[in-house]
């Protein structure tokens, strides 16, 4: 990768440039790899079955479906009583068998323990095997896979013991948080719930977030979720609100109103986006439009979309719908002059989706706007208002796009949280 960057720094690149750099650095031909994994179509998927008998472990890896053939090396880590061993086999589009000598039954079988195969490998094991993989594998990715499976099914005491020990250990924060997530899969169990509640005081934000995500709908947990709305980390607060909304929508609606009234402008984030949409989903017509004039940009953006949702989805009288349309049209007019670029973008999209804004207003916006992307969007909105498509579902698509954009932002910030948590307590 260093060679690739040095060759093409500040230049335009394409896939072939990366392939040539990798080939030059490794001395290996990689055309075959790029043809199937970069330029090829379809997805790769296999099922893996294993059987131990007569002193040997036999694995059968079978491709799924009738898609294209993928060639790739697959590593298998076999946990034996005297330590794990690894074997590699090439997958070639046909069922492949791998035989590993094992005088005693293996403790676990970790398929693709480093998660290096860009495809899906379906493999099932007993809880005892997944636990052995968690405790005995040499690879962090294999341990993470085991944690995912240990969060499924009915909890067993030895599994809970292992998850609790890992969650409170000194290992890296990613493994600790995944252990808490696995315990969250057993949150309805009284013991697991008690442990999750205790983790709300953990110094690592990633651990606290997984704890709130796993809390069940008991009085103690619902009260804890409300307290977690004051957590110093924004994504813990957002996760707590989402879990509260999942368990008790009415309670979440009441809480949403309080969140928006008392919010510190310096801590406005995804939580407030969720709160606005909770009010919209609950049909709280009187509150949502008022936030289109909020001093916080993210709240204004969410309120624009939430008001549009109310107009489109809520059960309203004709009179109330017309009133909301006028409110939104006025809000769009103000938002087109907003100092925040994202608010102006959302105003243009709302004008297009609901066709509520008069065309001269958008034409004035085009004349005064110096940003090419917004200019194009505004002109597209004018055309859509003048010539509406009979089956235009633009609002729904734009609402979905906004949620996807916010989720992508959350994913990026989640990664940042993991890196920050790895540095030590907040």
Q: List pLDDT tens digits, range 236-267.
A: 999 999 999 999 999 999 999 888 777 565 56
Domain count, the chain: 3
Give the pLDDT band of residue 60 (cuts 50, 70, 90). very high
Residue 223 lies in a domain: no
The range of the structural domain enclosing residue 84 comes to 45-123
If asked whether residues 308 and 381 sit together in one domain, one would say: yes
For residues 206 and 183, what is the distance between their CA atoms, to the nearest angstrom? Answer: 14
Residue 319 lies in a domain: yes
Q: Is a pLDDT exceeding 60 seen at residue 394?
A: no
Contacts for 217 with CB less than 8 Å, ≥ 6 apart: 247, 248
Kindly write down the DSSP assignment for every residue of 255-295, as one continuous string.
HHHHHHHH--GGG-SHHHHHHHHHHHHTT-TTTGGGGGG-S
For residues 290 and 294, what is the distance between their CA atoms, to the nearest angstrom? Answer: 7
If asked whether residues 342 and 362 sit together in one domain, one would say: yes
Residue 196 lies in a domain: no
Beta strands per DSSP E along 25-137 = 45-53, 56-63, 72-80, 83-91, 96-101, 108-111, 120-123
Q: List pLDDT tens digits, range 181-237.
A: 999 988 888 999 999 999 999 999 999 999 999 999 999 999 999 999 999 998 899
Classified as helix, coil or strand, 160 is helix
Residue 337 lies in a domain: yes
Q: Give me the pLDDT at residue 344, please.
A: 78
Contacts for 23 with CB less than 8 Å, ≥ 6 apart: 29, 30
If asked whether residues 261 and 295 sit together in one domain, one would say: yes
If asked whether residues 257 and 357 sit together in one domain, one would say: yes
Contacts for 363 with CB less than 8 Å, ≥ 6 apart: 382
Q: List pLDDT tens digits, range 287-344.
A: 777 777 777 777 777 777 777 777 776 677 888 777 777 777 778 777 777 777 777 7
For residues 379 and 364, what is the distance between their CA atoms, to the nearest angstrom? Answer: 11
Domain termination site, one of 69, 93, 123: 123
If asked whether residues 269 and 339 sit together in one domain, one would say: yes
Average pLDDT along the chain: 83
């Amino acid at each position: 990768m260093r060679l690739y960057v040095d060759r093409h720094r500040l230049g335009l690149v394409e896939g072939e440039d990366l392939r040539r750099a990798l080939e030059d650095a490794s001395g290996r031909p990689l055309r075959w790899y790029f043809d199937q994994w970069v330029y090829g179509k379809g997805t790769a998927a296999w099922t893996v079955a294993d059987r131990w008998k007569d002193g040997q472990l036999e694995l059968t890896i079978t491709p799924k479906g009738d898609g294209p053939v993928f060639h790739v090396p697959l590593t298998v880590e076999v946990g034996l009583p005297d330590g794990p061993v690894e074997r590699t086999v090439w997958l070639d589009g046909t069922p492949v068998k791998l035989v590993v000598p094992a005088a005693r039954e293996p403790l676990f079988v970790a398929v693709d323990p480093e998660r290096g195969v860009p495809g899906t490998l379906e493999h099932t094991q007993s809880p005892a095997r997944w636990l052995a993989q968690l405790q005995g594998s040499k690879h962090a990715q294999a341990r993470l896979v085991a944690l995912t499976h240990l969060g499924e099914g009915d909890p067993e005491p030895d599994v809970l013991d292992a998850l609790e020990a890992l969650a409170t250990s000194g290992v890296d924060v990613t493994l600790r948080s995944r252990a808490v997530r696995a315990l969250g899969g057993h949150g309805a169990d009284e013991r697991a719930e008690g442990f999750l509640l205790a983790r709300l005081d953990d110094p690592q934000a990633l651990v606290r977030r997984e704890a709130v995500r796993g809390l069940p709908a008991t009085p103690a947990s619902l009260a804890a979720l409300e307290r977690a709305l004051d957590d110093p980390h924004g994504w813990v607060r957002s996760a707590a609100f989402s879990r509260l909304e999942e368990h008790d929508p009415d309670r979440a609606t009441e809480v949403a109103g309080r969140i928006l009234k008392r919010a510190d402008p310096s801590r406005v984030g995804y939580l407030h986006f969720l709160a606005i949409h909770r009010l919209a989903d609950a049909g709280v017509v009187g509150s949502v439009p008022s936030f289109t004039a909020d001093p916080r940009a993210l709240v204004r953006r969410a309120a624009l979309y939430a008001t549009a949702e109310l107009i489109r989805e809520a059960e309203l009288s004709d009179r109330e719908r017309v009133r909301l349309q006028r409110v939104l049209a006025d809000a769009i007019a103000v938002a087109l002059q907003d100092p925040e670029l994202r608010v102006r973008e959302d105003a243009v999209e709302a004008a297009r989706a609901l066709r509520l804004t008069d065309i001269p207003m958008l034409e004035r916006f085009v004349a005064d706007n110096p940003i090419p992307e917004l200019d194009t969007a505004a002109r597209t909105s004018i055309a859509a208002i003048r010539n509406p498509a009979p089956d235009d579902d633009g609002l729904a698509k734009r609402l979905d796009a906004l949620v996807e954009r916010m989720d992508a932002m959350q994913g990026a910030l989640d990664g940042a949280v993991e890196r920050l948590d790895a540095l030590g307590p907040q």
